[in-house]
């Protein structure tokens, strides 16, 4: 890791904790989990309610689960980074 004088301390911390990579992994996991839940609990059993209702619930589940997974992965990165010092 090289410290560039033009980068802010916040940008250095984000880069050191691999936040963009953790966000991609976290939201990828969340999308797969949401899709699996949608298939197993909505499509396979069948439903008579509006699909927009389930799409809205799926959006909330995907964003909240993605944010939670991103935080957990970033905390793991921070712990590993603290153990290196």
* Domain map (residue ranges) of the chain: 18-84
Q: What pLDDT, on a 0 to 100 scale, did the predictor assign at position 5?
A: 62
Is the confidence at residue 3, as pLDDT, over 60? no
Q: What pLDDT, on a 0 to 100 scale, did the predictor assign at position 4?
A: 53
Cα–Cα distances (Å) from 24 to 36, 43, 53, 69, 85, in that order, read 18, 27, 26, 10, 26
Counting Cα atoms < 13 Å in the Cβ hemisphere of 58 gives 18
For residues 14 and 75, the answer to whether their CB atoms sit within 8 Å is no
Average pLDDT, the chain: 90
What mean pLDDT comes out for the span 54-60?
93
Higher pLDDT among residues 40 and 66, named by residue: 66
Among 3-17, 27-41, 49-63, the range of highest mean pLDDT: 27-41
Is the confidence at residue 75, as pLDDT, over 60? yes
pTM of the entire predicted model:
0.82
């Amino acid at each position: 890791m090289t410290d560039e004088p033009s980068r802010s301390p916040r940008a250095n911390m984000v880069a050191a904790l691999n936040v963009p990579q953790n966000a991609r992994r976290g939201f990828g996991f969340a999308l797969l989990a949401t899709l699996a839940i949608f298939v197993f609990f909505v499509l396979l059993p069948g439903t008579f309610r509006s699909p927009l209702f389930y799409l809205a619930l799926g959006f909330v589940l995907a964003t909240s689960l993605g944010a939670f997974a991103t935080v957990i992965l970033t905390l793991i990165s921070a712990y590993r980074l603290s153990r290196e010092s």
